[in-house]
Amino acid sequence: MTEVRLDAATVTVPGDGTDRGPRTILGPVDLVLTERRVSVVGANGSGKSTLLRLLNGLVSPTAGAVTVDGLDTVREGSRVRRRVAFAFTDPISQLVMPTGREDVELSLRRLHRSRSDRRAAAEGVLGRFGLSHLADQSVYDLSGGERQLMALAVVLATDPVLLVLDEPTTLLDRRNTLRLRAMLDALPQTVVLATHDLDLAAASDRTLVVDEGRIVFDGRPRAAVEHYLALVDEP
Ligand SMILES: Nc1ncnc2c1ncn2[C@@H]1O[C@H](COP(=O)(O)OP(=O)(O)OP(=O)(O)O)[C@@H](O)[C@H]1O
């Protein structure tokens, strides 16, 4: 079981040189996450991505601490990143190689030094995600949904213990959303995801509602969604 711990984690950004001074965009947040599926909901700009980015050290807390299985995301950043995969909303920012196969192989370079081992392992990963037939197609020629699934295969290739997903269904149609949900359901990994898709949020074990940089609700998904809807419906 993976444990994510935030101890008074706070993110303050410097002033922008105008009249705005430093601004706390998240926190302080105290959390211990051990559930297999955690979702994060909140309005645009509420701090969801910032919270997610703390989990693999993409953002460092300016005060407090974040640990994953006891590893500090700042002091032990590279060890944390080997355990925590992060998938961005837009898969094209994840796919850096011309084809999915090359991208999966790139992910595997640390695990498999020999080129032939890497090839074989990549084939296995692509097969596992039903993407073998798209492996050699330019990533720019994939549909949005195919690209999203390919990006997930790339980050999951190294078998991370925690998968962090920032709005994974934003670019997907209903069919691909359902495909992605089925794929997530089958994953053994712990998943923390931010989403505006309230059905997806409700399918988790625990939901956090973020508002203006604070966790304003933390609990059962259905109750969290109701809390969030009441919040956004306020005049
Ligand atoms: N590096 C930064 N410097 C200054 N402000 C930032 C920085 N990163 C985020 N912010 C601000 O912090 C707030 C929270 O941003 P964040 O991306 O976490 O929100 P979000 O809930 O993920 O939003 P969305 O649903 O629109 O993706 C926003 O007002 C954003 O402009």
Residue to mutate (ligand 1; options 24, 25, 62, 93; most atoms within 8 A of CB): 25
Rounded to the nearest 10 degrees, how much is the dihedral formed by the CA atoms of 203, 204, 209, 210? -110
For residue 106, give the CATH number of its domain. 3.40.50.300
Q: How confident is the model at residue 17 (pLDDT cuts 50, 70, 90)?
A: low
CA of 130 to the centre of ligand 1 (A): 34
CA of 48 to the centre of ligand 1 (A): 8
Amino acid 86: pLDDT:
94
Question: Does residue 15 have a pLDDT over 90?
Answer: no
Q: Convert the pLDDT of each residue in 33-70 to its tens digit.
A: 999 999 999 999 999 999 999 999 999 999 999 999 99
Stated as kind and residue range, the H or E segment containing 210 is strand 206-211
Task: Report the distance separating Cα 40 and Cα 218, nearest Å.
Answer: 9
Q: Which amino acid is at 174?
A: R
Radius of gyration of the chain (CA): 18
* Average pLDDT of the segment spanning 138-156: 91
Rounded to the nearest 10 degrees, how much is the dihedral formed by the CA atoms of 152, 53, 50, 26? 150
Whole domain around residue 8: which residue ranges? 4-233
High-pLDDT (> 90) share of the chain, %: 72
Which residues 6+ apart lie within 8 Å of 18 measured at CB? none
Q: How many domains does the chain have?
A: 1
Residue 88 DSSP SS3: coil
Amino acid 128: pLDDT:
87
* Average pLDDT of the segment spanning 145-172: 91
Q: Is 27 in the pocket of ligand 1 (CB under 6 A)?
A: no
CA of 55 to the centre of ligand 1 (A): 15
Output the pTM of the full model. 0.92
* Closest-CA residue to 73 (of 55, 50, 48, 53): 55
CA of 26 to the centre of ligand 1 (A): 9
Q: Convert the pLDDT of each residue in 185-202 to its tens digit.
A: 888 899 999 999 999 999
Pairing of strands 214-219, 206-211: antiparallel
Q: Whose Cα sits closest to atom 27 in ligand 1?
A: 44
Question: Does residue 235 have a pLDDT over 70?
Answer: no
